[in-house]
Amino acid sequence: MQQVGRVVSLFISDKELSRRVKQDYIEIDRGGIINDKFYDKDIDRSILITSIDSYKLAKNRDIDIKYGQLGENILIDYNPYHLPHGTQISIGEVILEISQHCTICKSLSKIDSKLPKLLKDDRGIFVKVIKSGFISQDDTVNIMELATA
| pLDDT of 149 higher than 80 | no
**pTM passes above 0.85:** yes
| Per-residue model confidence (pLDDT) at position 46 | 86
Contacts of residue 19, Cβ cutoff 8 Å, sequence gap at least 6? 13
Give the closest residue to 67 by CA, choosing from 81, 83, 53: 53
**pLDDT tens sequence across 87-145:** 999 999 999 999 999 877 777 888 888 888 888 888 899 999 999 999 999 999 999 97
DSSP, residue by residue, 79-131? --TTSPTT-EEEETTEEEEEEEE----GGGGGT-TTHHHHTTTSS-EEEEEEE
Domains (range + CATH), the chain = 2-145 (2.40.33.20)
Q: What residue type is assigned to position 51 of the chain?
A: S
Contacts of residue 56, Cβ cutoff 8 Å, sequence gap at least 6? none
**pLDDT tens sequence across 48-77:** 999 999 999 999 999 999 999 999 999 999
